[in-house]
């Protein structure tokens, strides 16, 4: 009978999280673009907890556009030694949804109805800083669509995706 090898030594990481409660009053009083520009200009340390956990940050918000950069690491690896596809999917979903949010008037929010991701090239910790750019294709009264591209430092495509988002009044 073959014995299992001893477990590899564990590495550790420590995280500090922000209060996850959304600022509903601020969200209701500002357009999506104003909200993002204000939050990240005045409170850059108030990144969403998912961005802290996965080590990505906002770079740009404009009407119909959201850009993030991140640093894939060994902490994001799957069992076959590459960055898990969920890392790329999360960055794409974030850029897509935030791009949609920048087109919304005060008092409106969104949620992802559909996310389509195409993986093109594997990532590892050696990939370096990645960039995801999301752009809105269409925003209606109830539904919006957007597309995004995730690229390596040389601009090579790593993954791309599309979304359909439901638009609704913020409670």
CATH number of the CATH domain containing 147: 3.10.129.10
> For the whole model, what pTM was predicted?
0.91
Q: In whole angstroms, how far apart are CA 104 and each of 9, 97, 100, 109?
A: 48, 11, 7, 7
Query: Do the domain assignments include residue 13?
Result: no
Domain that residue 111 falls in: 24-169
Q: Are 86 and 93 in contact (CB under 8 A)?
A: no
Query: Do the domain assignments include residue 133?
Result: yes
Q: Are 161 and 92 in contact (CB under 8 A)?
A: yes
pLDDT at 104: 98
Beta strands in the chain (DSSP E): 56-62, 65-70, 108-119, 130-139, 143-151, 157-169
Q: How confident is the model at residue 153 (pLDDT cuts 50, 70, 90)?
A: very high
Burial environment of residue 96 by CB neighbours within 10 A (0 to 12, 13 to 18, 19 or more): buried
Query: Do the domain assignments include residue 34?
Result: yes
Query: Do the domain assignments include residue 10?
Result: no
Of residues 159 and 42, more confidently modeled: 159
Burial environment of residue 156 by CB neighbours within 10 A (0 to 12, 13 to 18, 19 or more): exposed
User: Which pair of structure tokens corresponds to residue 14?
Assistant: 């420590």
Query: Do the domain assignments include residue 120?
Result: yes
Averaged over 5-23, what is the pLDDT?
76
């Amino acid at each position: 009978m073959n014995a299992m090898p001893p477990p590899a030594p564990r590495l550790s990481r420590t995280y500090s999280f922000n209060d996850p409660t959304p600022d509903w009053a601020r969200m209701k009083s500002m357009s999506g673009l104003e909200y993002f520009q204000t939050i990240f200009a005045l409170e850059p340390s108030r990144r969403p907890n998912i961005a802290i956990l996965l080590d990505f940050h906002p770079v740009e918000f404009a009407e119909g556009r959201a850009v993030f950069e991140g640093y894939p690491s060994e902490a994001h690896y799957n069992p076959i030694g590459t960055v898990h596809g969920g890392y790329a999917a999360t960055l794409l979903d974030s850029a897509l949804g935030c791009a949609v949010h920048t087109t919304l008037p005060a008092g409106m929010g969104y949620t992802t109805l559909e996310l389509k991701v195409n993986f093109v090239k594997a990532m590892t910790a050696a990939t370096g800083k990645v960039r995801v750019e999301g752009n809105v294709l269409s925003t209606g009264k109830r539904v919006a669509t957007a597309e995004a591209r995730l690229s390596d430092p040389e601009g090579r495509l790593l993954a791309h995706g599309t979304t359909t988002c439901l638009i609704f009044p913020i409670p």
